[in-house]
Structure 1
Amino acid sequence: MSFYSEFAPYYEQVFPFREEVYDFLKGYARADGAVLDIGCGTGHYCGRFARDSYAAMGIDLDSRMIEAASTSYPDASFHCMDMSDIGTLSGPFRLMYSIGNVLSHLSPDKLERFVAKAHSLLAPDGYWVFQVVNWDAMLDRAEYLFPVKALDGGAITFHRRYSCISPERVRFGFSLMKGDSAVFSEEFALYPATAEQYRQLHEQAGFAYVGSYGGFDGGAFISERSAALVMVFRKEK
């Protein structure tokens, strides 16, 4: 069983639905178009799009996340699948999005293939929005410890750490702790890319660059200090 399966019951506490995120995403949707959430987790954004009468689909690699999403949001469509396999989906989609640093799980060669598939799956004049860590700033560090989050009234704590940070790879360790005992812990690789690298990769795949932001409030992206990078691209007609 993966970390994410163990984490599913706590997902909403760590990553709650945020109205500003939904408003930002919805601003790029079309009333008559389908929406695809890549790395949907427990599906709360898909569920909100479905409630607002969009044809919403979410995909995630973890079966327990998809089970939770399907149960909570029956009006949306959910599939357990690797995001590298999006080419098997039936499009087109008017809006595709991925939030929560999901793209950083893809190695450079997989990311390049994914971006090409995303472009093929997107409808003409449709939008592709993604959020990742601001690797521009993170790559200046040797390691980074995230603030600890208390869950279940403090009975459980959620810990995350980036270590061995380099331009090629970052070790991502995270755990659920109950007191001094680990409920679950895991470590694996993430693959950083700078804002300029993401832009070049997307433009080479045929996307038109729309903008970069430091968060879903629409504030400017500042490479030296923004915590996140949100990028928006469009498929031209």
Structure 2
Amino acid sequence: MGDASAAYAARADEYTALFGSMDAVHDDDRDLVARWAAGLTGRVVDAGCGPGHWTDFLAGLGLDAEGVDLADPFLERARAQYPDVPFRRAALGDLGVPDGALGGVLAWYSIIHTPPEAVDGVLAELARAVAPGGGLLLGLCRGPRVEPFDHAVTRAWFWPVEELAARVQRAGFDVVETAERADPGVRPHGAISARRRAAGPG
């Protein structure tokens, strides 16, 4: 298990109590995810699903949704809370599916703990797994430059939306929408919605 997964496993109860339900989700984020999901077909993976509330949300929209995570306490809670939704152990960098098997990947704040030098490899795996025309939606901590910060659980990184969007584009996706928001008392938020290109990266 990676350092971030181990850190989340150790604080799964605390994290779930604070953030592990759709009641804790900003309305704009709920609307963005629902809008993104509306155009998807096939299996959709919630990568880094945590306690599973976003996976259940996707399933409630009628999608064939599956949650994956490396933190076993999260998976146990997700399976108990959402018994009709499948969850399994897998990493962002190895989703464990055949090439082009997915209609989409939701990675909502899932890559914020990935060191910048490893982000391209994660994006390449997501591109490999998503079928042409399939979707990718990333949530991120937005900042003016790529730099680390002391997240409550473990070290994380800020990203300028445009810089991460460029990496998404290079990985083989077409960026179709970005969003930014700054709310009092929380870190600035960013999101990137993209579609998998039929051709290779470019």
**What range is the shorter-chain TM-score in?**
0.7 to 0.9
In structure 2, distance between residues paired with 1:14 and 1:131: 18
Equivalent position SS for 1:89: coil
Residues 43, 103 of structure 2: 8 Å contact kept:
yes
The reply on whether 1:89 has 2:93 as its aligned counterpart is no
Report the residue type matching 1:236 in the other structure.
R
Following TM superposition, by how much is the alpha carbon of 1:31 offset from its aligned partner in structure 2, in angstroms?
6.1
What's 2:137 paired with? 129
Instruction: Check if 1:106 corresponds to 2:110.
Output: no
Alpha-carbon displacement from aligned partner over 1:152-185 (angstroms, at most 9, x marks no partner): xxxxxxxxxxxxxxx4x424253xxxxxxxxxxx
Report 1:109-120 matches (<5 A). 109-120=117-128
Counterpart code for 2:131: A
Counterpart position of 2:175: 209
Provide Cα deviations, 1:35-82, integer angstroms capped at 9, x if missing partner: 111111100111122234321111112100011011111222211222
For 2:85 and 2:143, the matched residues in 1 are separated by 32
Which residue type is aligned with residue 132 of structure 2?
Answer: P
Correspondence 1:77 to 2:86: yes
Q: CA distance change for structure 1 residues 19 and 75 in 2, over 3 Å: closer, same or farther?
A: farther
Query: Pick from 9, 19, 34: which aligns with 2:43?
Result: 34
Go from structure 1 to structure 2 and tell me whether the alpha carbon gap of 1:189 and 1:4 turns closer, same or farther (over 3 Å shift): closer
**After alignment, is 9-18 or 33-42 more displaced?**
9-18
Q: Judge conservation of contact 2:40–2:104 (CA < 8 Å) in 1.
A: no
Residue 109 of structure 1: how far off its partner (Å):
2.9
Higher strand share: 1
Of 183, 187, 190, the match for 1:229: 190
Deviations 1:76-134 (A, max 9, x none): 22112221112x2245222211123x212112232111111111211221111111111
The verdict on how the C-alpha distance between 1:48 and 1:104 changes in structure 2, with shifts beyond 3 A counting, is closer
- When normalised by structure 1's length, the TM-score is 0.68
User: Could you tell me the TM-score, scaled by structure 2's length?
Assistant: 0.79
Cα distance, 1:203–1:46 mapped onto 2, change above 3 Å: same
Which of the numbers 2, 18, 24 marks the counterpart of 2:32?
Answer: 24
Does structure 1 residue 170 correspond to structure 2 residue 136? Answer: no
Sequence identity (%): 21
SS in 2 for 1:28: helix
SS of the equivalent of 2:155 reads strand
Structure 2 unaligned residues grouped into runs of 5+: none
Measured after TM superposition, the shift of residue 8 of structure 1 is 2.0
- Cα deviations by residue, 1:8-47 (Å, 9 ceiling, x for unpaired): 2233432131373333212222464221111111001111
The separation in 1 between residues aligned to 2:132 and 2:55, in whole angstroms, is 22
Is the contact between residue 143 and residue 159 of structure 2 (CA under 8 Å) also seen in structure 1?
Answer: yes
User: Do the aligned residues in 2 keep the contact of 1:22 with 1:45 (CA within 8 Å)?
Assistant: no
SS at match of 1:41: coil
Q: Which entry has the higher C-alpha Rg, 1 or 2?
A: 1
- Do the aligned partners of 1:211 and 1:232 also contact (CA within 8 Å) in 2? yes
Q: Give the CA RMSD over aligned residues.
A: 2.5
Residue 57 of structure 2 is aligned to residue 48 of structure 1:
yes
Q: Secondary structure at the match of 2:104?
A: strand
- Contact 1:84–1:110 (CA under 8 A) maintained in structure 2: no
Q: Pick which of 64-73 and 44-53 moved more.
A: 44-53
Residue 182 of structure 1 aligns with which residue?
none
